[in-house]
Structure 1
Amino acid sequence: MDFTEHTALDAVLASFADTPDARLRQILGAVTRHLHALVHELRPTTAEWESAIAFLTAVGHMCDDTRQEFVLLSDVLGVSMLVETMNGDARGTEGTVLGPFHMSESPRRELGDRIDEVGTGVPCVVTGTVTDPDGEAIPGAVVDVWQCDENGFYDVQRPDTQPPGNGRGLFHADDRGAFWFRGVVPTYYPIPTDGPVGRLLGASRRHPYRPAHVHVIASAPGFTTVTTHMFVADSPYLDSDAVFAVKHSLVRDFAESADAAEAARYGVPVPFRRAHFPIRLARAGRPR
């Protein structure tokens, strides 16, 4: 059979017909059908198709141990949040994107420790609880947090000014499911724009900014792990996050406190900011 514009799809689908893994066969078929449909719709020139290949090649070249440009591309196209939303569990805390900067292992820290190792920025105390959907505490739940500094940079972006692990912490909730740590109030920041994803945003006249947030992954045996954010309530860009990750239920006040006794209890100066973030984990394996 000649390979023509009208026979191309059938020819490629037939080539995958003997794929042993049924799910892989389904995926290859769907990707092929949609990609061929896109080409039929857009009818790209050879030069345009070569530009598309060059763009994806450039995205791959920007990926290394501390930068994941493909994650960034998935994020700005809304695909990361779409997949997260489709796989979310309504019984637990709403999930959001992992983001491109969960690139290094968070250091194990004790409850109440500082995740800020630089000593600059507005101090804050974050408290929270990890429970099941019925409000029962999950003792020993693991809470992995990471955030940018007050200038909008993660440790992997500025190794010359931030030590490895700055802004990161791996905590275990106590017997009441409670956790708490000290840090600095994060700021809004632009996603990296020095690569092909940044050029894509520029070409489409989209801004690159994300509202201020703290990343959180919470997990426990027998429960579904949730990857989420805690957003700062008064931050710019809450209504136009470049990666579409803001959900109303995740926005939290970082209220200023001048309570000297509370500050002394947590080991922070007065005034400081205070936020509370309750986390619900759905039990694994139960119907949603």
Structure 2
Amino acid sequence: MNHLRFLRYADEVARAGSIRQAAERLHVAPSAVNRRIQDIEEELGTPIFERLPRGMRLTTAGELFMRYVRGRAADLERVRSEIEELKGLRRGTVRVVASQALAPRFLPAAIHDFRQSHPLVAFEVRIGDHVQAAEALRSFGTDLALVFNLAPESDIERLTSVEQRLMALMHARHPLAIATGVRLRDCAEYPVVLPNRDTGGRQLIERFLARSSTRIDAMVESNSFEFLRGCVYDRRSISFQMAIGALPDDREVVVREIEDRGFPRGELVLANLRGRQLPVIAYAFAEFLGKRLAELD
């Protein structure tokens, strides 16, 4: 299957944008990568890359060819998975793109429990938002996406979805911690630290504020939930996170429901690329996740 290895050279150049960086990732000489690219272009009769002063960029023909390459690689992975299934080994690699709220507990626990019955299975997990997840599905960069607020698209199949509340996080000695729930206008009286606008929780807040008289000025914005959680240890700041990722690590941090009437809920979606036949083990993990999500619902 040397020809597949050479196709991978082209794929790596496309991802890295550079022959030198691709060669480093592949652990081969840059000249070998360049030679294979030239062989492919000669066989196709057209360039698949633009040679730029600072790297390589796919041509229109190259984008078509790369779609073919990644499709072939995905098909090969599926066949390998089916062969291992026949052997009874249940091995393979499952690739997942997940929202950041799932990183601390839900997804690690799900992977741990799945591997109890499938100990030979490996996982590649990337943290990203709904836009990055959709892009990874379309480029065959992932098998599954588990993200918030994934917009309906004709080429993406939603396997299951569950609603999730947004929760307020604060220190146990915060003045609002004595209540069982909070309203956003109460939170606005304290320093607020918000996730950035790409996250599902922030989008829910923005949707509510757009039709409310309440105004919130963020003291801090960050794409790191771990950093935002750390900010509430000053005992004055308040942050927000989806319920699935909001359980506190210790007794010093508490979570409170948002009690505003009509506050929207987020949608956690498990999805794959429509029409793509997943590797057997990825399909098995998708079914496993579906059951876990149903328990949440």
TM-score (norm: length of structure 1): 0.29
TM-score (norm: length of structure 2): 0.28
Considering fraction of residues, name the structure with more helix.
2
